A and B are shown apart, each in its own frame.
Chain A
């Protein structure tokens, strides 16, 4: 009998051809998918070309130009071009051109490119998002991407796992973003450094896939290697019609070892914000004294899905964006965009006086489409509020859910959804 293993350990063992693995062990694992974007791929391509002239599998590489696209300047156009030409030359199946693309971590699950039990690396730190479907997924750098594109495998240190036991159900206007911000507030930005966060407990069943994707997305903000959810009927329902290939869901063994268990009662959570300049600076929205804002961003790989826009639309409906605020709404993919048009959300946003952008990372990383000047303050549904992240080094980002962001846009200050709705 192999030792009782966590989800991550079991997935690693299967991909390393071992009957068991344990925390701390160094392994080489086969990869099911390798991802890169317009910032990380160009250096990876340069390195790849020093190693090989052919990718290991043209169907298992995904290239998404999303950070500085539609290109913001000549240099970023050159980088996107490098990636496009590489995709053509290597005949990469999953290359998503502007007009068909989305923010990578919204796009890949939506297009059925990630499935339970798989091992996925991406040259982007939020690759951990795919833990939501029960895959092992983690961010790496360009050199890792380069070598993985050549060999189809990479090295890992097996992480110890922290169990996050969820109980109860979320109340109205509280969502996945509040769950993950609360968790990061509890354990800190390095609370799970070099460890896996494994979500479990009866509360999981009450979380939508959108909530789970948001939660897994921000595992990295606690320093975690990955953030993984069990595969249940909600996962299966989401995957139906998206994932066409066979996959093998993995469940944690009874008796698997966790170095720590953290319990969160979803019932008790309230809308929160993370104050600059670390995602661990979490406070209840209700405790925020009058904090005026200049900008609101709703989108990103954390909260750019249709349910996120639905929350925002419910708040904006029939209301106006405050005169001191620029509200920018960025659907996470072309599919999300189209759905938002069909459901009437785009009309609600435009009538409210908000901007609706084509899918892009844009302002999330201070790229384009909403860069802030000195002294300005934003509420954003993004995942990082580091110094200078969205523009000037003396600008501030407060992280929040779409509902809080929308309410704040309407009132011109950090505000809870119930103050508006």
Chain B
């Protein structure tokens, strides 16, 4: 999978309550939730985010609640992938399960600014910041997590598994 998109830049510990506040969780309609994505830290996001944009953040992205509505709302808002130094584990799991690509870069400075354009090639394991020309490697997903991602998420993956068993 290859894509190019504009960067939305955030800091450390972006929690699931700001990704999608609980006051909106009386629906599980991701399109509707997407209208409120990130609004408590960035009221401009939902109105301006474009299909294919990417989020780049610091450490522990997605900490807090297990609500899958968080990666779900970002995906429905058009976010193509989230790049972070590290991810909270339930968010990581959920994103893989619903087929939202994540790129975990490890601790350290990520030299990517808001508005930069990123080109990501998941299959080749390469990304490039088109603004600075800087290239970085995307760590490969381990074992069957790769299979889940390739199947497009846990539901299609499980469907395939169950079909094989029959």
Interface residues of A (CB under 8 A from B): 26, 39-40, 42-43, 46-47, 50-52, 67-68, 72-73, 75-76, 79, 122-125, 127, 139-144, 146-147, 150-151, 155, 157, 189-190, 193-194, 220, 223, 225, 278, 365-367, 371, 384, 386-389, 391, 393
Bound Cα distance A124, B159 (Å): 24
Chain A residue at minimal CB-CB distance from B22:
A365
Q: Mark B135-166, 1 if CB is under 8 A from A, else 0.
A: 00000001111001000011100110110000
Instruction: Point out which of B18, B93, B145 has the most chain A C-beta atoms below 10 A from its C-beta.
Output: B93
Chain A residue at minimal CB-CB distance from B60:
A190
Bound Cα distance A367, B67 (Å): 14
Given A26, A124, A189, A386, which contacts B60 in the complex, CB threshold below 8 Å?
A: A189
Does B65 count as interface, using CB distance less than 8 angstroms? yes
Contact B41 A47 (CB under 8 A): no
Contact B162 A150 (CB under 8 A): yes
Does B64 count as interface, using CB distance less than 8 angstroms? yes
Expressed in whole angstroms, the minimum distance between the Cβ of B11 and any Cβ of chain A is: 12
Contact A51 B158 (CB under 8 A): yes
Chain B residue at minimal CB-CB distance from A82:
B28
Contact B13 A189 (CB under 8 A): yes
Total number of B residues with any Cβ neighbor in A under 8 Å: 44
Please, which residues of chain A bring their CB within 8 A of the CB of B143? Answer: 26
Bound Cα distance A209, B160 (Å): 43
Given A67, A76, A366, which contacts B21 in the complex, CB threshold below 8 Å?
A: A366
If A140-B90, A155-B144, A387-B17 touch, does A124 touch B22 (CB 8 Å cutoff)? no
Given B18, B41, B86, B144, which contacts A190 in the complex, CB threshold below 8 Å?
A: B86
Contact B17 A125 (CB under 8 A): no
List B residues 75-116 near A (Cβ within 8 Å): 86, 88-90, 93-94, 97-98
Expressed in whole angstroms, the minimum distance between the Cβ of B35 and any Cβ of chain A is: 15
Contact A193 B159 (CB under 8 A): no
Please, which residues of chain A bring their CB within 8 A of the CB of B63? Answer: 189-190, 223
If A73-B26, A366-B22, A388-B40 touch, does A190 touch B97 (CB 8 Å cutoff)? no
Given B22, B28, B71, B88, which contacts A223 in the complex, CB threshold below 8 Å?
A: B88
Contact B158 A125 (CB under 8 A): no
